[in-house]
Amino acid sequence: MEADVHMLDILYRDEAMIAIDKPSGLLVHRTALDRHETEFAVQQLRDQIGQRVWPVHRLDRGTSGVLVFALDATSAHALAQQFAQHLPAKRYLAVVRGHPPEAGEIDHPLRRIDDAIDPRGAREGAEPVAAQPAVTRYRRLAVAEMPVAIDRYPSSRYALVEAMPLTGRTHQIRRHLKHIAHPVIGDASYGKGAHNRYVATLCGQSRLLLACIHMHIRHPISGADIELRCGPGTAFERLAEVFGWDAAVLRPEAVHPLRGSQ
């Protein structure tokens, strides 16, 4: 896990909102599944800046990257409304198993996962409540093939993917990439342990290789367009070296709109 008690990296701050680069392994706030945890982004950021913060959206515990908070109740309501309507444009980088098509759109409804239900339990038969529309666009940025036999094949294939969720379902990108048989590396719920462990040895970290690196959002008071960017983290950088990927594809400024994006 990347999470620790170091200072959180602040990407943007004014009187109404603040955005941080959340490390992998850090929960946004307490959930029923993690009652034993003591460190949360809400608590750490509150203590770091010395004032209350309001979470307005979520990132999975293992996902790193852009995370937005409000600094007052009015702004919290305005920002939360944007996320509820799927208005912020978000882009992620993911390292996945296999070589997916160069680009595509995954339009696959997802059943709701309650915080109190472990997704692994749902997979074993504890069905969540209802299916909801869910759409993710993606683009393949780079590929690699290692001469290591993990499955029934003599080599192991991986790819760097840029993904943009057009809806905001729980674990959406992870579940959608699993749906097309290209799960995110490091995903203990939807991926494969042997591949996760192998790639962890290559990058020196055991983490979910999914990062929100770019977000456009409207300011809750002025309505101005705010652009938030951050890097995907050292695990991605190390894999770029190992796999021979151009490090430029990891830079937030290298992200370009996916065709047909909002």
- Of 157 and 125, the structure prediction assigns the larger pLDDT to 157
Q: Which residues contact 236 (CB under 8 A, 6 or more apart)?
A: 93, 95, 160, 203, 209, 211, 250
pLDDT at position 115 = 41
CB 135 within 8 A of CB 172: no
Name 205's Cβ contacts closer than 8 Å, sequence gap at least 6.
2, 234, 235, 238
User: Does the pLDDT value for residue 119 go beyond 50?
Assistant: no
Output the pLDDT for position 5: 55
- As a whole number of Å, the CA-based R_g of the chain is 18
Per the domain annotation, does 55 fall within a domain? Answer: yes
Identify whether 235 is part of a domain.
yes
Output the pTM of the full model: 0.88
Q: Decide if 210 contacts 107 (C-beta within 8 A).
A: no
Q: Mean per-residue pLDDT for 144-170?
A: 93
User: Residue 35, Cβ neighbours under 10 Å: how many?
Assistant: 7
In a domain, 1, yes or no: no
Residue 139 has pLDDT above 50, yes or no: yes
Alpha helices (H) in 155-249, listed in sequence order: 172-179, 193-203, 234-243
Residue 156 lies in a domain: yes
Cross-strand pairs, 90: 215
- Give CA–CA dist 209/32, Å, rounded: 24
Q: Is residue 259 part of a domain?
A: no
Per-residue model confidence (pLDDT) at position 126: 53
Beta bridge partners of 160: 95, 142
DSSP 186: T
The answer to whether position 4 is within a domain reads no
The partner residues of 95 in beta bridges, in order of sequence, read 160
Q: Which range has the top average pLDDT, 45-59, 129-143, 247-261? A: 45-59
Provide the mean pLDDT of the chain.
89
Question: In sequence order, what are the residues at sequence separation of 6 or more whose Cβ sits closer than 8 angstroms to the Cβ of residue 132?
Answer: 109, 110, 111, 112, 167, 169
- Tally of domains within the chain: 1
Contact 81, 207 (CB under 8 A): no
> Which residue numbers are catalytic?
60
CATH number at residue 221: 3.30.2350.10
**Residue 170's domain spans which residues?**
9-254
pLDDT tens, position by position, 46-91: 999 999 999 999 999 999 999 999 999 999 999 999 999 999 999 9
Give the model confidence (pLDDT) of 177-231 as tens digits.
Answer: 999 999 999 999 999 999 999 999 999 999 999 999 999 999 999 999 999 999 9
261 falls within a domain: no
pLDDT higher than 80, residue 122: no
Query: What whole-number distance in Å separates Cα of residue 69 and Cα of residue 53?
Result: 6
Which residue, among 37, 177, 170, has the nearest Cα to 114 in the 3D structure? Answer: 170
**Cα distance between residue 156 and residue 151, in whole Å:** 8
Let me know if residue 101 belongs to a domain: yes
